[in-house]
Structure 1
Amino acid sequence: MTDAPASEGLEWTAQRGMGALAQKMGMRFTEFTVERCVATMPVEGNTQPVGLLHGGAYVVLGESLGSMAANLHAGPGRLAVGVDINATHTRSATSGIVTGVCTPIHLGRSMTVHEIVVSDDQGRRCSTVRITNMIKAMP
């Protein structure tokens, strides 16, 4: 499925599901191909006690995008599982919606690396997440 058009990628995510945590956090996938995946998430409901978007929420958005993108790349009969993730938070979102844009750094046969840039409503980068996934045969 590595060369699927955007509409097929969104259909694939709808069939597969995004997972209970992503749904609970209000994520919505808006674009989904091997080369670029985009999702939004509301700040409200995902904040820490002082009203800032929780740092872990940035990571959940990044991991959701990166893992789903790696699985789209992996194709049928194979499974991508996260083996490393890191995030650098450079700005705090306090309201509105954040948008994560996921692009591949490396798309291999057994490993992928993706960068996810999370920006606020004004387009300002708030967090940069990097995830590495290992690809293996489905159990």
Structure 2
Amino acid sequence: MLVPDQLHITHGRGTGALAATMQIYLIEFSPERTVAVMPVEGNTQPLGLLHGGANCVLGESLGSMSAYAHATTISPEHYAVGIDINATHTASATSGWVTGECTAISLGRSVTVHEIIIRDADGRRCSTVRITNLIRKLNG
């Protein structure tokens, strides 16, 4: 699954051009848990390691999509916007694909917090990302 259809059409939101450019593919999608894969090739820094910024893009994409899915359960007029992100890189992938697994820590009416663990093809944790999203109302 590349992107659920409803994510493309709801309020004109979706994964966006950056996620498409980085070839992020969704496997599972919900407010509580979202999983995606991303290739290392094409997302590396000059030494051939997966770029730390690519880990952040994967993490923010998954956390924001999950937060948005939660926001729309409050009402269709609600959406999520990231207000804080941090990442700790503990290993580097050099080939293959990485998997990002996003898990909700807190799903509130005004704020969500998600943790995203990014692992290489051998299951080794490469990065841990935490994102906080603010839930807002359209035109509100």
TM-score between both structures, scaled by the size of structure 1: 0.90
Partner of 1:91: 91
Match of 2:22 among 25, 33, 38: 25
Residue-by-residue CA offset, 1:52-96 (whole Å, 9 max, x unaligned): 000000000000000010000000101100000000000000000
RMSD: 1.5
2:54 corresponds, among 54, 57, 69, to: 57
1:104 maps to which residue? 104
Match of 1:35 among 32, 37, 53: 32
Deviations 1:77-116 (A, max 9, x none): 0110000000000000000000000000000000000000
Equivalenced residue count is 132
- The letter for the 2-side match of 1:122 is D
Matched, 1:132 2:132: yes
Query: What's the counterpart of residue 116 of structure 1?
Result: 116
Deviation at 1:35, TM superposition (A): 1.5
Q: Which runs of 5+ in 1 are unaligned?
A: 1-6
Q: Which runs of 4+ in 1 moved over 2 A?
A: 9-17
Are the aligned partners of 1:99 and 1:118 in contact in 2 as well (CA < 8 Å)? yes
Please, what TM-score do these two structures have when normalized by structure 2?
0.90
